[in-house]
A and B are shown apart, each in its own frame.
Chain A
Amino acid sequence: MNAAALFGRSREGEPGLLPDPRLGSPMPWVIAIVIALTVIAAASGLGLRNAGAHASADLNGGITVQIVSAAPAARNRQADAALAVLRRLPDVADAQRVDQSQLESLLEPWLGTRPGDTIDDLPIPALIDVRLRAPATPDRVSALQTALAGVAPAARVDAQAAWLTPVFRAIATLQWLAGGLIALLTVATIAAVVLAARAALVNQRETIEIVHMLGGTDAQIARVFQRTAAMEAAAGGTIGLIAGVVAIVVLSAQFSALGSGMASGAALGWLDWVVIAAIPLCGVALAVLTARLTVLSALRRML
């Protein structure tokens, strides 16, 4: 059974009205490419949002106190005093001095480990990792600085989130970029469907005129084109979704291998997957609506 006959028996009122009005054989492939790119862009946007939210939650109440002193004895004394003061402050949930050996291992890749080197000779600041009960606002950071000024004049207080502000800005920019890409791909889908529907209308013009003369309505004719658009978009959307998901899985595996906390925070949740799965459905709906409006608009110019 050919597609026309299939159409023909699917619904009363417009059976066999038109031959299979293919919107154009490349149409499913165009839709597939657009849907695949949209899926990747959406997944990137959602992953970046998750990574930003995850990092923000981690760092929101984080404060780092550095005791910057070249003299190891004074550094240790001020660090102990500062730690004692911090632990008494009501805003502070937890305060831990970062172990010196841990600091040395962090610096090792930059400073090297040649035999005979002694890292103790370097003026490495003492670090205290502080967790506040509330977000580290500039006022709270300033209050901590004031509280420590008396016991640890060499103390420098920094909100951890402040270090990552450029990163958060970059993430926000990338999210907007993903949104912009999705908008552009939506426009590309509409344009492709409009062009294909117009071409199909030109090919079917004589038959459409006959159907009109026999009392066929614009809606009956448009429904035939809508069904074709739906079938082609569904085929393309399925292929695009599969291609997009494969790309996401491969990229996710590679980012996971980085072992970065921010990368692991970018993992997609079930709601994100629901949104991604809805993209082809939205593509089908968009193609059907575009085909309908294009065809009806063209038919209105015919008597």
Chain B
Amino acid sequence: MNAPDAEIVQFDNVGLRYGTGKEALTDISFTLYPGRFYFLTGASGAGKTSLLKLLYLAQRPSRGLIRMFGTDAITLPRERLPGFRRRLGVVFQDFRLVQHLSAFDNVALPLRVAGVAEREITKPVDEMLDWVGLADRRHARPATLSGGEQQRVAIARAVIARPDMLVADEPTGNVDPDMALKLLRLFESLNRLGTTVVVATHDVHLIQKVPDSLIMRLDKGRLSDPTGALRFPPRRTSTPTEPVLSAAPKDSRGDGQGGPPLGFATK
């Protein structure tokens, strides 16, 4: 985990252009700190998914600078990408589950990729599936799961390895309000353990459920900063890691409400 106050992500005048079209993202500058909870909002087509792609290293920008985990991500050699990606958890908008694998194997995939021994995989994966309400569907293939169930598998897969940063694209779009709240609790618990969470959503009610969150708003590929916390360099009203340090022992497991099974980490 990064040292307190050390930025986890830094974008500086980043632009992204697909092919020869106009820029999908223009002059994007912000800093993300460890242990903070960020919401990314904006109308459809504003560039949220493009920005998330840059965040989870699926896309290189056309211009600008990106630093992740203290390293220049633009010039990062390809061989080092897997190590960085293992520090990220990603919930894709279209879930991107591996169709030939069961729900269990999909959730276990990040652990297996990281080389975790099989005997150490079963318990955390079963606990995670139980938490997202899919214990009885562990052998089901994605094609036999509903949209909401697939989304929960995708979320379980994203958090199973307790990443340094979780990037989620509309993670509650296909689930009922109760499940959405439960998943949000999962993200908050992960956040209290130190994971930086970035959630792209249209759901205002969801944003209101996380009062300490910071909001990044995209409009036609440009970032606005309604909370004033994202400016480059950011203006901070408090030490960003304070809530993490104070909240983590209290809520990670011992809140008496059955916290999520986030005891596993590959790092």
Interface residues of A (CB under 8 A from B): 4, 8-9, 12-19, 206-207, 209-217, 220, 300, 303
Chain A residue numbers with a CB within 8 Å of B108 are 16
Q: Are A215 and B86 in contact (CB under 8 A)?
A: yes
**Count of B interface residues, CB-CB < 8 Å:** 32
Q: How many A-B residue pairs have CB under 8 A?
A: 73
In the complex the two chains form, what is the Cα distance from A16 to B98 in whole Å? 10
Stretch at the interface among B11-19, B52-60, B185-193, B209-217: B52-60
Q: Are A216 and B113 in contact (CB under 8 A)?
A: yes
Beyond A213-B58, A303-B59, 5 additional pairs, beta carbon < 8 A:
A14-B112, A210-B96, A214-B109, A215-B110, A303-B57
Determine which of B56, B84, B112, B157 lies in contact with A15 in the assembled complex, contact meaning CB atoms within 8 Å.
B112
Q: Are B109 and A16 in contact (CB under 8 A)?
A: yes
In the complex the two chains form, what is the Cα distance from A213 to B114 in whole Å? 12
Q: Are B100 and A214 in contact (CB under 8 A)?
A: no
Determine which of B82, B97, B98, B105 lies in contact with A215 in the assembled complex, contact meaning CB atoms within 8 Å.
B82
Chain A residue numbers with a CB within 8 Å of B105 are 8, 16
Chain A residue numbers with a CB within 8 Å of B226 are none
Q: Are B78 and A211 in contact (CB under 8 A)?
A: no
Q: Are B115 and A214 in contact (CB under 8 A)?
A: no
Chain A residue numbers with a CB within 8 Å of B86 are 214-215
Chain B residue numbers with a CB within 8 Å of A13 are 112-113, 115
B204 close to chain A: CB less than 8 A: no
Chain B residue numbers with a CB within 8 Å of A16 are 101, 105, 108-109, 112
- For chain A, what secondary structure do more than half of its interface residues adopt (helix, strand, loop), or is it mixed? loop
Chain B residue numbers with a CB within 8 Å of A15 are 112, 118
Q: Are B96 and A215 in contact (CB under 8 A)?
A: no
Chain B residue numbers with a CB within 8 Å of A303 are 57-60, 78, 81
Q: Are B90 and A215 in contact (CB under 8 A)?
A: no
Q: Are B113 and A207 in contact (CB under 8 A)?
A: no
| Given A13-B112, A17-B113, A300-B78: A213 in contact with B85 (beta carbons within 8 A) | yes
Task: Pick 27 A–B contacts, CB within 8 A, sort by A.
Answer: A8-B105, A9-B118, A12-B112, A12-B115, A12-B117, A13-B113, A14-B112, A15-B118, A16-B101, A16-B109, A207-B98, A207-B100, A210-B109, A211-B98, A211-B113, A212-B82, A212-B85, A213-B56, A213-B90, A214-B157, A215-B83, A215-B85, A215-B88, A215-B113, A303-B58, A303-B60, A303-B81
In the complex the two chains form, what is the Cα distance from A210 to B99 in whole Å? 11
Chain A residue numbers with a CB within 8 Å of B99 are 207
In the complex the two chains form, what is the Cα distance from A16 to B101 in whole Å? 7
Question: B163 — nearest CB in chain A belongs to which residue?
Answer: A215
- Those 3 A-B pairs whose CB atoms lie nearest each other, nearest first: A215-B86, A19-B100, A215-B85
Which residues of chain B in 89-139 are interfacial with respect to chain A, using CB atoms and an 8 Å cutoff?
90, 96-101, 105, 108-110, 112-118
Chain A residue numbers with a CB within 8 Å of B98 are 207, 210-211
In the complex the two chains form, what is the Cα distance from A14 to B59 in whole Å? 24
Q: Are B82 and A17 in contact (CB under 8 A)?
A: no
Chain B residue numbers with a CB within 8 Å of A209 are 96
Interface centre among A15, A19, A207, A212 (most CB of B within 10 A): A15
